[in-house]
């Protein structure tokens, strides 16, 4: 088995690769990314036995020929590379389109060309009913991967997508930001009413592994995960800090959605997760969600302040957390 991870030096990529080294003892794993410093730092974080099974491949998903070269000999591709900062997307729209849309199409075509068997692409809750450029590019990417199953011909190649919310502790996300600001005794909060989904890196990796094992092609896998109120997150991290309401940034939603009511005609409840199928489902399909069903962060199970605090202690390295 040979697994390639685009964006392999990112938060998810590093977590997935460590899991894959343990889960697949005979697998070779290719780390594909564009930053040589991050690759060098990542190489130094592994022992000799793991390094013998890792290959580091410099490249950009905007470069289709480079992707084709990297994909040759790979059975599985995990597509995690993306530009994802919401305000940056509003200011630099074409850069996000080139990476998140054109880059995703390059992954599709390179997979077809190189004989890859399975592709799982990472999506985001911002791709459902998007209001910002980042979400719109990820929705386009989702559509590209789902539609790619129509052009595989006789190839045994399956494309699928996993979609989830804010990853706890990922670079540039709100929790590390709050932890860094808490030392100053003041937390800038966009809105006291804002809610977000929450998933740990471990849970994100498990969902991708589920997609690899169960996808028939064209599905979007959506986990059942809790939400938190941003106001509760601030209290969990720094209960004595002063909260400064700064307003919602360009392109932000007050609440996030992972399944829209329009998706309900295609959505099946699988117990611990949902699957949005590429075609409308018959009413005879088991476990269909009710017509008009939607899955949003404000109508969900909310983590308590203590649950948030416990998850941060378990999943994020920080020397600033209340006891």
Which residues touch 209 (CB under 8 Å, ≥6 apart)?
Answer: 19, 23
DSSP 305: H
CB 316 within 8 A of CB 169: yes
126 given a catalytic annotation = yes
In whole angstroms, what is the distance from residue 36 CA to residue 315 CA?
Answer: 27
In this structure, the strands spanning 158-162 and 118-122 are parallel
Token readout for 286 is: 């088991």
Using CB atoms within 10 Å of the CB of residue 113, give its burial: 0 to 12 exposed, 13 to 18 middle, 19+ buried. middle
Parallel, antiparallel or unpaired: strands 195-199 and 227-229: antiparallel
Beta-carbon contacts of residue 10 (< 8 Å; ≥ 6 apart): 33, 80, 81, 170, 171
Residue 174 sits at φ, ψ, to 5 deg, of -70, -35
Query: What is the residue-wise DSSP string for 59-74?
Result: --TT-HHHHHHHHTT-
Element (H, E) at 315: helix 305-315
Residue from 84, 126, 235, 278 carrying the catalytic annotation? 126
Q: What is the dihedral of CA 65, 69, 70, 75, to 10 degrees?
A: 110
Enumerate the active-site residues. 126
């Amino acid at each position: 088995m040979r697994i390639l991870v685009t964006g392999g030096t990112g938060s998810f990529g590093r977590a997935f690769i460590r899991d894959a080294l343990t889960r697949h003892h005979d697998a070779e794993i290719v780390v594909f990314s564009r930053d040589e410093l991050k690759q060098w730092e990542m190489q130094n974080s592994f022992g000799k036995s793991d390094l013998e099974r890792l290959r580091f491949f410099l490249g950009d998903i905007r470069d289709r020929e480079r992707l084709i070269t990297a994909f040759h000999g790979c059975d599985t591709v995990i597509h995690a590379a993306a530009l994802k900062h919401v305000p940056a997307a509003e200011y630099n729209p074409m850069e996000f389109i080139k990476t998140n849309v054109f880059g995703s199409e390059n992954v599709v075509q390179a997979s077809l060309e190189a004989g890859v068997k399975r592709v799982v692409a990472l999506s985001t809750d911002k791709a459902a009913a998007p209001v910002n450029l980042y979400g719109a590019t990820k929705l386009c990417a989702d559509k590209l991967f789902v539609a790619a199953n129509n052009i595989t011909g006789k190839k045994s190649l399956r494309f699928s997508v996993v979609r989830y919310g804010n990853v706890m502790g990922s670079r540039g996300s709100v929790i590390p930001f709050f932890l860094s600001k808490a030392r100053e005794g003041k937390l800038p909060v966009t809105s006291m009413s804002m809610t977000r989904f929450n998933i740990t890196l471990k849970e994100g990796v498990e969902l991708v592994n589920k997609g690899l094992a169960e996808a028939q092609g064209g599905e979007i896998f959506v986990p059942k995960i809790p939400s938190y109120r941003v106001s509760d997150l601030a209290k969990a991290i720094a209960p004595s800090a002063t909260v400064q309401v700064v307003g919602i940034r360009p392109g932000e939603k007050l609440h996030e959605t992972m399944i829209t009511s329009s998706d309900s005609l295609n959505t099946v409840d699988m117990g611990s997760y949902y699957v949005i199928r590429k075609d409308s489902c018959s009413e005879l399909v088991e476990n269909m969600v009710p017509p008009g069903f939607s899955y949003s962060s404000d109508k969900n199970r909310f983590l308590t302040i203590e649950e948030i605090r416990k998850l941060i202690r378990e999943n994020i390295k920080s020397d600033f957390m209340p006891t």
